[in-house]
Structure 1
Amino acid sequence: MRSSDVQDLYRQYGQELQGYLSRRLKCAETAADLTQEAFVRLIRGGPQGLVDNPRAYLYRIASNLLTDHYRDQTRRPRASAEPLSIAVVDGTPGQERALLAKDRVGHLERAIGELPPRQREVLLLHKFEGLSYGEIADRLGISKNTVMVHMMRALAYCRDHLSAME
C-alpha cells in the first residue's frame, strides 16, 4: 500500500478509530498507541490490491489489536496485597542478557539517529520527554495528526530496524 494512500486513510479515519479504541479501553494513551499500531500493520501487511472497504479493514485490525491487548492484560501477573512468603530470586540479568540488551540499545540508538529530523524530534519528545501529541504539536507548530503520522513512521522504522538486526 502506498504511503500517500495510508496518509489519506489516516486523515480520513484516524481520529474516528482512536475514538473507538478510547471508548473501549477507557485510556486515551493506549488508544493512541493502538491506533498507530493499526496503521503500522496496515503499512506492513496490507493487502497488495485495493481494499473494498478500507474503514472496515482498519476496524478489523483495531479489533484484533484490542483482543491482543486484553489477552496480554490477563496474562500479566497482578500484584497481590498479601506478602510473599517465597524467597526472592536475584533479579539482575546474567552477563549474556546484559550484553544482548546493551547491543539492542545500540541498534535502537542507531535507528533513531537514522530517522528524518522531524520524525526523530517527535519520537524523542513523546517517548523520552513524555509530551503528549497535543503538546508536541503546539511546540513544533504542526497539527496533532501530523505528529501522529511522524510517530507512526518513526516507530515502524525502529521496529523494522531492530527486527532486521535479530
Structure 2
Amino acid sequence: MSDSSSTSPSLVSSLTRHYEDLVDYVRYRFGCKLFAREIVHNVCVHLLEKPAIEARQPIALLKRISHNMAVNECRAESVRNRLIESMAELPENVASGTPDHAARLDAQRQVDLLARAIEALPPRCKQVFIMHKIHDIPQSEVALRLGISVKMVERHTRLGLAACKQYLGRD
C-alpha cells in the first residue's frame, strides 16, 4: 500500500488552484476583498519560503493558515491604530520629539534663574547644595567631606531648596 501523503498535492499547488476560493473565504470573514487578497498573497509567500509541505486536506490547512494570518494582521493593525491615536492626543512638540522655540527659550530662562539662585546662596549652603543636589552625593558623604553633621547637610539643603524656589517664584 502506498503512502497517501506522497500522492497529495503540495500546499503551493493547492493554493494556486484555489486562490480565488481562499480570497472569498477570507473576504467573507473579514469583509474586504483587497485585505483578503493581501492575506492570501502573504500565505503564498510564506509557503514559498518554507520547504515543500504536504497535507492530507490542503484546502482546509490553507484556510486555517489564511484565517490565522488575517487575525494576526487585524491585531497588528489595531495596535498601530491605538499608537497613532495616542500620538495624536499629544501636543505637537511632544509628538514630534522636539520642543518648540518658545519652550526651549523658557527652559533656558529657568536654568539661568536657577543658576543665579544657587550663586546667591551663602558659601557653605551653596557648597552643600551643589554637592548633594547637583552632583548627587549622598548627605552622609557630603557631611564627611565637609566635616559637618548630617543634620547640618539636611539644613543647608533645605535652605538651598527654599531659596531656589523663592528665587524662581514657586511655592
TM-score range, shorter chain: 0.3 to 0.5
TM-score (norm 2): 0.45
**In proportion to residue count, which structure has more helix?**
2
Q: Rg: which structure is higher?
A: 2
Higher RCO (CA-CA < 8 Å; seq separation 6+):
1
TM-score (norm 1): 0.46
